[in-house]
Amino acid sequence: MSASQSLVLDGERSEIVKGPVRVGKRSGVSEEKAMAALKDHSEAERRRRERINAHLNTLRGLVPCTEKMDKATLLAEVITQMKQLKKTATEYSKGLTIPMDDDEVKVEPHNEGDGTFSLTASLCCDYSPQLISELRQALKTLPLNIVKAEISTLGGRVKNVFVFTSYKDTNSDNAEACQVLVNSVHQSLTSVLDKVSAAADYTLPNKRRRISFIDSSSSSS
């Protein structure tokens, strides 16, 4: 007497094959329904493998020298390439004036070595109609010359970068006097940021948290 058999899915081959029925267990699903379910599962697995292979082939076309790589080696190479691209993009963007997502006031002092003391200051925040007028009023009170000003916008965000130099009668070797200038610039820009943020909070609640810091280290050119 031959043993009873039922249709099962061979996981390795993804094919429907006949297999023995387990003793003591009864199936409440007819053979036709079981076959239809197994066929659907097999077809879904086939489509999934095709999508994976298509994506892997795309990756092979993007990463050099991957014709003979297996899947694990290919993915490892792609990860390495992505990390390198991210590092390169970060290095190239250092000199660009790009607004960030966080509100920020940053002041960097520079001792030029020729008796001139300079500052690079930046303010990053959401765009506001009164931003320029607030900046103008705050900066004109500073005992510094503005030698350069840049502004960039991106998606409603604004970044302002200013380069200041001290007056001729300022002693750049006086660390205390230079720090006073740094603090003055930082305080003025922070005041502008607070006013702009307060106006934005009134109309747009849950605004992103402000991050503000000051770099008081000096560097020589």
**Rounded CA gap, 96 and 106, in Å?**
15
Q: What is the pLDDT of residue 211?
A: 43
**Rounded CA gap, 4 and 113, in Å?**
94
Residue 32's contacts (CB-CB under 8 Å, 6 or more residues apart) are none
Q: Per DSSP, what are the bridge partners of residue 125? A: 158
Q: Would you kindly state where each structural domain of the chain is located, as residue ranges?
A: 5-73, 104-203
**Rounded CA gap, 105 and 196, in Å?**
13
**Rounded CA gap, 54 and 190, in Å?**
52
CATH (residue range 104-203): 3.30.70.260
Q: What is the pLDDT of residue 218?
A: 41
3 DSSP 8-state letter: P
Q: Per DSSP, what are the bridge partners of residue 118? A: 110, 165
Report strand pairing: 144-154 vs 157-166: antiparallel
**105 backbone dihedrals φ, ψ, rounded to 5°:** -120, 125
Q: What is the pLDDT of residue 158?
A: 92
**20 backbone dihedrals φ, ψ, rounded to 5°:** -70, 145
Q: Is 115 helix (H, G, I), strand (E, B) or coil?
A: coil
Write the CA distances from 61 to 57, 80, 215, integer angstroms.
Answer: 6, 15, 45
Per-position pLDDT tens, the chain of length 221? 445 555 555 555 555 555 555 544 555 457 787 788 888 888 889 899 999 989 888 888 888 776 678 888 888 888 888 888 888 877 776 666 788 888 999 999 887 666 678 889 999 999 988 899 999 999 888 888 899 999 999 888 999 999 998 876 666 567 888 888 899 999 999 999 999 888 766 555 444 444 444 444 444 43
The single-letter code of the amino acid at 211 is: I
